[in-house]
Amino acid sequence: MFHYTFHWNQAFKALPQMLDGALVTLQIALLSMAIGLAVAIALTLFRLSGSRILGGFATAWIEVARNTPALFQIYMAHFGLGNFGIHLSPFTSLLVGIAFNNAGYLAENFRGALKAIPDTQARAGRSLGMTSLQAFRLIVMPQMLRVAFLPVTNQMVWAILMTSLGVTVGMNTDLAGITQELNARSFRTFEFFAIAAVIYYVIAKAVTLAARAFASRMFRY
Amino acid sequence: MRISVLAFGLMAATALAGQAHADKLDDIIASGTLRCAVVLDFPPMGSRDENNNPIGFDVDYCNDLAKALGVTAEIVETPFPERIPALMSGRVDVGVASTSDTLERAKTVGMTVPYFAFEMAVTANDKSGIKSFEDMKGKTVGATAGTFEAIALEKSVKEWGVGEFRPYQTQADVFLALSQGQIDATVSTSTVAQANVKSGKFAGISVVGKAPYDIDYVALFTNREEYGLINYLNLFINQQVRTGRYAELYEKWVGGEVPSLSVNGVYR
């Protein structure tokens, strides 16, 4: 029942354009991870601070980020904020949406990692005369990042795949956006989507393998 | 004796071959159902009423076609980008989905003669100060991804070399973005523009003029190799015009002067 003849030679003409899109995809994913990591560390500190307001804020962020669809978060960053007169470009909306999502998940990763680090570590730091912030920054955080490293790379892969949701807010320069446009123009859906899928796979796999290689070098005991 | 055996064998062979050559037109008639791909966020061509039932020009057109074929119509909602995958994966038989008949697309699907024709209109946010198509130069503009007008507008923006083009996935998102001021103007079919401005759902927007693009002829489509069905569809479109049903549906859903579906000076 599949009445379709593949026109690969036509589709491959668009490959350079799609690879340019893949670069934009990677760029958004990396930026969103950088922002997400910074915010997640802040959220982790808020939760450790003992302050009700800060802790509540962090918990609310994490709950919303982890329990609503990424599509919804990105859509809200564009049309939700737009309703209040805050106009983000498609690029920024997508970045904000994914970074918001990343921060929530990464904060949870950090919480899990902190559990693996005994309290005595922080106390040992304090007994050496460090302030609690110093003890966190110099003793606990490096260990936390080490334990959380592989889960963090999972989130990076997830961030790459989430960029494909940008088409819903008018993004047309990333891999998914370019693929959609090529598809609309020519109706060669299956060729273009197959190529896009391979590119996404290669990027995601490369990130995973690079992270594993990095981890096995850095985290030798 | 030998001749009659041969004749019998020949008859059996033709009967079998006849069976094996049932085409899509036969399949539709045999199944008793015509499944049409229709875009339902594209008023007045396709939308939903208060009870969530599909309505619009394209919906009526599909029902007419089913009636002509003596089968029941099934409306399958397909957003613009999903029309072709729906056809290729066998979820629908025919697209009645305001599909522009570009040569590029005709390499993939079989297009009929035009069954409708759109003119393009510019709709702008009142605060943008855009009063004509030319004023759009340098502004942020958008349109529904994958449509004739989106492709034309993106080309214009590239030629102008200033401003920004944003494709949204649905017509509703385009008008939402326009009404919020995320984009300053859009080009859409004049029917859609008027329907959306009139709907009152989107504040602060007005139709400001025509866009200087070619008339957007739209065709029904089905699988490229289904000549039997395409032939039938062409005749159906011809009959819709001949019997006055096309004008009747146009009056019902759009109103005003009925656009001509023929191009002067050339055969299809």
Task: Give pLDDT, residue B147.
Answer: 85
Task: Give pLDDT, residue B195.
Answer: 85
Mean pLDDT score across all residues of chain B: 89
Q: How far apart are CA B56 and CA B35, in angstroms?
A: 16
Task: Give pLDDT, residue A23.
Answer: 96
Please answer yes or no on whether B167 and A181 come within 8 Å at the CB atom. Answer: yes
Mean pLDDT of A30-56: 94
Q: Percentages helix, strand, coil for chain A, rounded to the nearest 5?
A: 85, 0, 15
Q: Which two tokens stand for residue B250?
A: 């146009």
- Whether residue B148 is predicted with pLDDT greater than 90 in this model: the reply is no
DSSP A118-149: -HHHHHHHHHTT--HHHIIIIIIHHHHHHHHH
Task: Give pLDDT, residue A191.
Answer: 92
- Whether residue A2 is predicted with pLDDT greater than 70 in this model: the reply is no
Mean pLDDT of B21-40: 92
User: Which residue do the tokens 């589709």 mark?
Assistant: A11
Structure confidence by residue, pLDDT tens digits, B178-195: 999 999 999 999 888 988
Q: How far apart are CA A154 and CA A198, in angstroms?
A: 18
Q: How far apart are CA A142 and CA A43, in angstroms?
A: 16
Q: Which residue of A has its CA nearest to B166?
A: A170
Q: How confident is the model at residue B264 (pLDDT cuts 50, 70, 90)?
A: confident
Task: Give pLDDT, residue A52.
Answer: 94
Task: Give pLDDT, residue A185.
Answer: 83
Structure confidence by residue, pLDDT tens digits, A93-128: 999 999 999 999 999 999 999 989 998 998 999 999
**Residues of A with CB below 8 A from B164's CB?**
89
Burial of B162-185, coded b for 16+ CB within 10 Å and e otherwise, reads: ebbbbbbbbbbbbbbbbbbbbbbb
CB half-sphere exposure, A153, CA atoms < 13 A: 17
B interface mutation test: which of A79, A94, A187 has the most B CBs within 10 A? A187
Residues 205-244 of B with CB under 8 A from A: 223-225
Structure confidence by residue, pLDDT tens digits, B53-112: 999 999 999 999 999 999 999 999 998 888 888 998 889 999 999 999 989 889 889 999
Neighbours of B47 (CB within 10 A): 22
Does any CB of chain A come closer than 8 Å to the CB of residue B146? yes
Q: How far apart are CA A203 and CA B46, in angstroms?
A: 40
Q: Which residue of B has its CA nearest to A165?
A: B169
Structure confidence by residue, pLDDT tens digits, A142-196: 898 889 998 999 999 999 999 999 999 999 999 999 998 898 888 888 899 999 9
Does any CB of chain A come closer than 8 Å to the CB of residue B81? yes
Please answer yes or no on whether A170 and B167 come within 8 Å at the CB atom. Answer: yes
Please answer yes or no on whether B107 and A87 come within 8 Å at the CB atom. Answer: no
CA B96 from chain center: how many Å? 6
**Residues of B with CB below 8 A from A192's CB?**
none
* B54 beta partners: B48
Q: How confident is the model at residue A3 (pLDDT cuts 50, 70, 90)?
A: low
* Stretch among A154-163, B113-122, B211-220, B252-261 having the lowest mean pLDDT: B252-261
Task: Give pLDDT, residue B135.
Answer: 93
Length reported for chain A = 221
Please answer yes or no on whether A172 and B165 come within 8 Å at the CB atom. Answer: yes
B13 vs A60: which has the higher pLDDT: A60
How many angstroms away from the CA of A79 is the closest CA of chain B?
7
Task: Give pLDDT, residue B112.
Answer: 96
Structure confidence by residue, pLDDT tens digits, A51-62: 999 999 999 999
Q: For B151, which of A2, A87, A185 is closest by C-beta distance?
A: A185
Task: Give pLDDT, residue B17.
Answer: 52
Structure confidence by residue, pLDDT tens digits, A78-101: 999 988 989 999 999 999 999 999
Q: Which two tokens stand for residue A125?
A: 């730091």
**Residues of A with CB below 8 A from B152's CB?**
none
Interface contacts (A, B; CB < 8 Å) = 89
**Residues of B with CB below 8 A from A4's CB?**
88
A26 vs B256: which has the higher pLDDT: A26
Q: How confident is the model at residue A67 (pLDDT cuts 50, 70, 90)?
A: very high
Mean pLDDT of B212-219: 91
Per CB distance under 8 Å, which residues of A are interface residues toward B? 1-4, 7, 10, 78-79, 82-83, 85, 87, 89-90, 167-170, 172, 177, 180-181, 183-190
Q: How confident is the model at residue B21 (pLDDT cuts 50, 70, 90)?
A: low
ipTM: 0.78
How many angstroms away from the CA of A178 is the closest CA of chain B?
11
How many angstroms away from the CA of A87 is the closest CA of chain B?
6
Task: Give pLDDT, residue B207.
Answer: 92
Please answer yes or no on whether B89 and A186 come within 8 Å at the CB atom. Answer: no
Task: Give pLDDT, residue B6.
Answer: 61
**Which amino acid, B172?**
A
Name the helix (H) or strand (E) containing B117. Answer: strand B109-118
Q: Which two tokens stand for residue B256?
A: 């005003």
How many angstroms away from the CA of A177 is the closest CA of chain B?
9
Residue B179 backbone dihedrals phi, psi, to 5 degrees: -70, -30
Does any CB of chain A come closer than 8 Å to the CB of residue B47? no
Task: Give pLDDT, residue A187.
Answer: 84
**Residues of A with CB below 8 A from B145's CB?**
167, 172, 180-181, 184
**Residues of B with CB below 8 A from A7's CB?**
107
